[in-house]
Amino acid sequence: MQLFASTYSSFVLAVLATASPALASPAQHVFDIHHAHNSTTTTTTMTTTTTPLFSPDTCPIDTISCTRTDIDPCCSPQNGLLVLALQWDTRWGPSNAFTVHGLWPDTCEGKQLPNQGCDPQRSYTNISGIIQTSDPLLHADMTTYWPSNKGDNDWFWTHEWVKHGTCVSTLHPRCYGSEGYVPRQEVADYFRKILELREKYDLFKALAKNGVVPTEPEAGRRPKNTYSLKQFKQAIKNEWGVEPNVRCIGRRLQEVFLWFKVRGPDNYYLVEPYGRDSCGAISYQRKSTAAV
């Protein structure tokens, strides 16, 4: 990213190649495993200095992320390729909905950002409390659609904010400009946008509309009642015009990744996947939980 003049010196991009973390075990969401396609990790740090307030009027209209390097990172995400990870766990969340793992910014080359996030000054703790205070309805929705499979929502949400939310450059406090900034309001804005995307791109409905519905549970690691990877990907492409990446543990469906770029600061649109699939035959089993 080209450095701006002193009036826009809010962000500093440092790039260090390090080894990518190992893939997570099936039950652990502490690791984000969407980067099986790329073993390179890019270190990005956004630091805060005293600068004039940002004005959205200075942004070019309808800028698309990853197409320019001379634009203020408040106008377009600096890490402009993002993956929405939606998971299917038969023990958690509504029976008629995928739940959220996270929204993960990548570099425009599809490289992973650092595990420690991009802005130590905003590595907030108690994310559950911050959201409950600022937006109780959002907190309730997150409890439904973003549950921790460890039973600790605050830890899960805090991890996602620190590692990924701090890397969304358009949510930096400076980007709120003359409208004024309420401390930590970017936290709720980050999670609210993700739930909006989950609702807009409702995987359960899209799959069902195209004949892919959960099957009865089967014991064992190699269930026989399965869909092909082609069926699964085509059902989603029929709905939105692009394929996802699909990940499995053995044959059991684990997660679906939808990839995005961004028009302007926050208008997300789907793009072709940058990752790899890890499924052959897919066991998409009915949940044991209730519907909403």
139 is catalytic: no
109 is catalytic: no
Among 164, 186, 243, 255, the active-site one is 164
Among 29, 101, 139, 172, the active-site one is 101
DSSP letters spanning 48-66: ----PPP-GGGSPTTPBTT
164 is catalytic: yes
Give the Å distances, CA to CA, from 46 to 43, 67, 78, 173, 219.
Answer: 10, 20, 10, 11, 48
Give the Å distances, CA to CA, from 183 to 41, 59, 72, 201, 289.
Answer: 30, 24, 22, 30, 37
Determine the Cα–Cα distance for residues 192 and 189; give it in Å rounded to an integer: 5
Among 29, 35, 159, 160, the active-site one is 160
Determine the Cα–Cα distance for residues 165 and 190; give it in Å rounded to an integer: 6
Determine the Cα–Cα distance for residues 2 and 71; give it in Å rounded to an integer: 9
Interaxial angle between packed helices 136-145 and 153-163, expressed in degrees from 0 to 180 and rounded to the nearest 10: 100
Token pair belonging to 236: 């989603």
Task: Give the catalytic positions in this structure.
Answer: 101, 160, 164
